Every structure is written in C-alpha cells, then in structure tokens.
Amino acid sequence: MVAQRAGVSPSTVSRILNGTAKVSDDKQALVRQVIDELGFRPDPTARSLAGGRTMSIGVLTQYIDSPFYGEALRGIEDVLHQAHYAPLFVSGHWNQEEERARLGLLQDRKVDGIIVLTGQLSDETLGEMARQLPIVVTGRQLSAPNLYSIDFDNLEGAGLAVRHLHALGHRNVAFISGPLDHPDAEQRLAGYRAELERRDMPVNDALVVYSDFQESGGFRAMTQLLDSRINFSAVIAANDQMAYGARLALHRAGLRVPDDISLVGFDDLPHSAFTLPPLTTVRQSVYEIGSSAAQAMLDLLSHKTPPAKLIAAEIIVRESTRICRR
C-alpha cells in the first residue's frame, strides 16, 4: 500500500475507503489527498480475495447477440453500473449442459450473484444454487429463499393479441408458436388458447404450427399453414422475427397484409415499426425486465425482499391488422 506514505497504517486507509469505522477528520483529509496525488485505485482483485466480494454479477443469457434479450442486458448493465457492480455475461446457447458449465465458470469466478435469463435449467437446479448465492431468474414463476423470479405477462400479452383480432371481427386465428421447451413460447401459446376459449372462438390444433423463433422458421411455418389449406383470416406469431418470415411467405403466396390476412407479432423489436406494413405487435419492456432483475439482485444482496413483479404487456396497433371482411 503506497498510500501509507501518508504516514498512517494500511488499515486506516482501508477504513476510509470503505467507511468501516470512524477516522479523525484530519487523517481523513490527509489520506484522501495522498490518494489522488498518487492516483491510487484499489485493486478489485485483491479486494475479492480478502473481502470475499467481487462486486460482479454473473448474467447467464442465451446468445449475447439476441435481438430479444439485448435490451435486457442493457437494463442490467445500467442498473448494476450505478451500484458499482459489473456484469459478467456468459451464453448458454439454449443448451442445458452449456448453461451448467457457464454457471460453473461464474461460480469459480466468485460472482456475488447470478441473473439467469430464461434458459432450460430445472427449477431444482436453480433452487440448489440459491443456497450458495442469490439468484434472480426470468421466465419462471417460482420462489425460494434467496431466489427471486420475475417474468413477462406472456399470458396477458397473447390474450391482448387475440382480443385485438377478435374486435376486428376475426374468428379463425392461426398461431405460429415457438419451441415448447422455451418458457416464453409455452406461455404465449397458452395465453392464445385461453383467450380463444374465453371468446368462444374456434380452438383447433391445426391452426397452431410450431417453429423456432427465427425468421426462416416463420417463413416455413407460414408456408406449412398455407399448404394445409385450413381456413384463417389472421395469424399471430409468437415473436416478431417469425412474423417477418411469415410476412414474406404470405407475399410469396400472393397474399396481401393486411387486406387478405392480418398479422400480429410479439416483442415489438425496433425494426417492427419500419416493416412493410408496419407490424402490429405485443410489446413488453424487455429493458425493464433487465433493470428490474438487476434491481432485485441488488435488493437480495442487501438482504431486502424485492417486490414481486410481472412485466405488463401492451398491444401496439400498426398497419398489419385490419377488419376481417369475410
């Protein structure tokens, strides 16, 4: 510790930096002066070894370049940074083994807590981990000590889409689902079905087709729907990316949106306001789920109980939907 050039002991300096105990004002001032004369910066590495806290939070995402979760990462980063924590991002690639491995890496690096964005780990695994360090997880609804979960209101979101279409007079509404091992996909599909029943609209398994949340998958799904010759006047895609693909497939088939078919997406990606036609879609604040998750982590870290929270959905009506004319 170069700062004992101030003529005091290392511990005194440490106390000043951390506010651990009272230090007389004169020494306080002296040390602070020496500190910025020398441009001294405490070494987080050593701090971790000694103090046990690394001031970093592990964040398990699936793909670091996911257009969907990207905003959540930003929310996490913003909130954490204010609290002088640094996020450590790792990717699980929707693969259980990889998720496990990366989580191990995070534990090795002694992160102070872990935020898990969805993923495929079992609730038990998460519960066990929570005994080691605080966990915040999205896309689930479970609670355990030291574990906090926060989720989108996917059910409501999908319901909103159906309601909008229903109000426009649509009755036969198809659904392009994501992969069912993906919690968001499963919930969105459930929300669609529930709302259909609530409104006495036809619930028909043939109206549901499964895909992969990608543009190309949406294209294939739409093609499949068209080929099946089933009757529908509107389609809901479980995310915007698939909606883009579906929209192109419709175009290739000579069908116009929204004149022939109404289309609604899910997520409201930045691009969606600029597609042709601009896409009607369900928006959930992905940024907010990130920032709330980070805030919850901060709460957990200071032994406060974070408030329960469900991120609201809203429907953004643009030009890809219109009154059903059949």
Span interacting with DNA, options 9-17, 145-153, 158-166, 251-259, rule CB under 7 A? 9-17
254 is an interface residue for a copy of itself by CB under 8 A: no
Give the one entry of a copy of itself, DNA, none that residue 212 binds, where binding means its C-beta sits below a cut-off of 5 to 8 angstroms depending on kind.
none
306 is an interface residue for a copy of itself by CB under 8 A: no
| Per-residue x/- track, 192-221, a copy of itself (CB under 8 A) | -----------------------xx--x--
Q: How many residues bind DNA (CB under 7 A)?
A: 31
Q: Mention every residue, 6+ apart, whose C-beta is less than 8 A from residue 90.
A: 58, 59, 60, 61, 102, 103, 105, 106
Query: Reduced to 3 states, what is the DSSP secondary structure of residue 89?
Result: strand
Span interacting with a copy of itself, options 42-50, 167-175, 192-200, 303-311, rule CB under 8 A? 42-50
Q: How many residues bind a copy of itself (CB under 8 A)?
A: 46
Q: Which position has the token pair 């005994």?
A: 131
Kindly tell me which of 93 and 198 has the beta carbon lying closer to a copy of itself.
93
Kindly tell me which of 12 and 284 has the beta carbon lying closer to DNA.
12
Question: Of residues 30-49, which lie at the interface with DNA (CB under 7 A)?
Answer: 40-43, 45-47, 49
> Residue type for 296, please?
A
**Does residue 278 contact residue 250 with C-beta atoms inside 8 Å?**
no
Question: Of residues 50-69, which lie at the interface with a copy of itself (CB under 8 A)?
Answer: 54, 63-67
302 is an interface residue for DNA by CB under 7 A: no
Number of H helices, E strands in the chain: 11, 12
Backbone φ and ψ of 86, nearest 5°: -115, 135
Q: Sign of torsion, CA 216 217 218 223? A: positive
Distance CA 142, CA 284 (A): 20
Structure tokens at 203: 């619930």
**Does residue 184 contact residue 178 with C-beta atoms inside 8 Å?**
yes
Give the one entry of a copy of itself, DNA, none that residue 21 binds, where binding means its C-beta sits below a cut-off of 5 to 8 angstroms depending on kind.
DNA
Give contact residues for DNA (rule: CB under 7 A): 1, 7-15, 17-18, 20-24, 26-28, 40-43, 45-47, 49-52
